[in-house]
Chains A and B, each alone.
Chain A
Amino acid sequence: MDVKIFQFNGCNKCFNETLLLKLDTDNKIQFISEPQNWKGEKTEVAVITGYLLPSDKKNLEKIKTNSERVIAYGNCTTMGGIFALANQHGYEITPLKEFIDNQINVNGCLGEIEELKSLITGDEPSELKTLCEVCARSATCEYLDSVHRQIELDDNETCYNDLGFLCNGFIAKECKERCINYNTPCRGCKPMVKRSGIRMLGMFGTLMGNIEVATEHSEKGATDKLGDEEDDVIRSLPDILGNFFRFTLPTSGLPKGRITSSGTLLENVFTGRLIEELPLISGLLGGSKSISLTLKIIESYEKANQIEISEGTKKYREELLTLETDLKKALENENPKQYKEITNKIRKIAGNMNLSNIFFGGFKSKINENDTFDDYKTHVFDVVEGNYKNGSVEYTVDPNGIIKEITIIEG
Chain B
Amino acid sequence: MRMSECEITDELIKEKIQDVVVFMCNECGQGSANTAGVARIGYDPSIRIIRVQCTGQIGPIQIMDALNNGADAVACVGCCLGACHFFNGNVLSMHRIKLMKKLFKELGYSDQFVNQYTSRAAEGETAVGDFEDIIERLSTAIKDEGTIKDGC
Point out residues on A near B: beta carbons under 8 Å.
Answer: 88, 195, 198-199, 201-202, 204-206, 208-209, 211, 213-215, 218-226, 228, 231, 233-234, 237, 239-241, 253-259, 272
Contacts and interface: CB of A to CB of B under 8 A. Distances in A.
Contact of B94 (A213, A253, A257, A258): A213
B107 interface: yes
B115 interface: yes
Nearest to B65: A253
Given A220-B130, A240-B102, A254-B107, A209 B95 contact: yes
A223 B99 contact: no
Given A206-B92, A221-B128, 18 more contacts: A88-B106, A202-B60, A202-B61, A202-B96, A221-B125, A221-B126, A221-B133, A222-B123, A224-B80, A226-B117, A234-B98, A234-B102, A237-B99, A239-B106, A240-B99, A254-B64, A255-B107, A259-B106
Nearest to A238: B102
Contact of B130 (A88, A223, A257): A223
Contacts of B108: 88, 257-259
A237 B100 CA distance: 12
Nearest to A87: B107
* Interface magnitude class on chain B: 35 or more
Interface string B75-117: 0000011000000100110111111101100111101000111
B64 to A, nearest CB: 5
A233 B95 contact: yes
Contacts of A225: 115-118, 130, 133
Nearest to A199: B61
Lowest 7 A-B CB distances belong to which pairs? A258-B108, A221-B129, A202-B59, A205-B96, A220-B129, A226-B116, A221-B130
A220 B94 CA distance: 19
Nearest to B150: A258
A218 B129 contact: yes
A218 B106 contact: no
Interface string B125-139: 111111011001000
18 contacts: A198-B61, A198-B64, A199-B60, A199-B61, A202-B60, A205-B95, A218-B130, A223-B118, A225-B115, A226-B117, A231-B98, A233-B98, A234-B102, A237-B102, A255-B67, A257-B107, A259-B106, A259-B107
B7 to A, nearest CB: 20
Contacts of B119: 221, 223
Contacts of A219: 129, 133
A255 B129 CA distance: 30
A213 B64 contact: no
A198 to B, nearest CB: 5
Contact of A255 (B94, B136, B148): B148
